């Protein structure tokens, strides 16, 4: 019997999250906090606001608020009034988070290599297209 694709995606996502959480625990963080640090460190030249985090990780405003508050409490981010919109808060990584970003990037690079090493660029492009399509058709 052929396995349900949606269930396989869920299973794969769960497994990847468990592995990422295990990596994050050594820093007393969650995989989501690690992901935000990675995202922000790769976009240092751009002003990042909460809504950017919401969009990048496809999370609700309330979820992002709690996530970012916890990151602020752990001295990972600083919030300040946005230069482009005084109603918004701009997010910036702290020195502590920037030092973690090096280990996070190395881990992400290793994961990327492990995932992609046995596939051609064409296979990877097609897989990304499929994932983007699945994401798009499941938007609310």
**pLDDT recorded at residue 2:** 67
**pLDDT recorded at residue 48:** 95
Q: What average pLDDT does range 1-14 have in this prediction?
A: 85
5-137 CATH, one of 3.40.50.300, 1.10.10.10, 3.40.50.450, 1.10.640.10? 1.10.10.10
Cβ–Cβ < 8 Å for 82, 47: yes
Instruction: In whole angstroms, give the CA distance from residue 86 to residue 77.
Output: 19
Query: How confident is the model over 18-66, as pLDDT tens digits?
Result: 999 999 999 999 999 999 999 999 999 999 999 999 999 999 999 999 9
**pLDDT recorded at residue 139:** 80
Q: What average pLDDT does range 3-9 have in this prediction?
A: 87
Q: What average pLDDT does range 113-134 have in this prediction?
A: 95
Model confidence band, residue 124 (pLDDT cutoffs 50, 70, 90) = very high
Q: Where are the beta strands (DSSP E) in the chain?
A: 48-49, 77-81, 89-93
**pLDDT recorded at residue 88:** 86
Model-level pTM greater than 0.95? no
Count of alpha carbons within 13 angstroms of residue 23, beta-carbon side: 21
Query: How confident is the model over 68-99, as pLDDT tens digits?
Result: 999 999 999 999 998 888 888 899 999 999 99
**pLDDT recorded at residue 102:** 95
- pLDDT at 67 exceeding the cut of 90: yes
């Amino acid at each position: 019997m052929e396995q349900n694709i949606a269930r396989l995606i869920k299973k794969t996502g769960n497994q990847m999250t468990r592995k990422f959480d295990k990596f994050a625990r050594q820093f007393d963080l969650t995989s989501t906090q690690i992901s935000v640090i990675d995202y922000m460190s790769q976009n240092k030249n751009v002003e990042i606001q909460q809504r950017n985090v919401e969009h990048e990780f496809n999370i609700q405003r309330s979820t992002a608020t709690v996530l970012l508050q916890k990151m602020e409490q752990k001295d990972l981010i600083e919030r300040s009034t946005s230069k482009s919109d005084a109603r918004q808060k701009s997010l910036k990584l702290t020195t502590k988070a920037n030092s973690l970003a090096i280990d996070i990037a190395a881990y992400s690079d290793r994961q990327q290599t492990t995932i992609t090493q046995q596939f051609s660029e064409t296979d990877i492009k097609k897989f990304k297209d499929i994932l983007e399509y699945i994401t798009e058709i499941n938007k609310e």
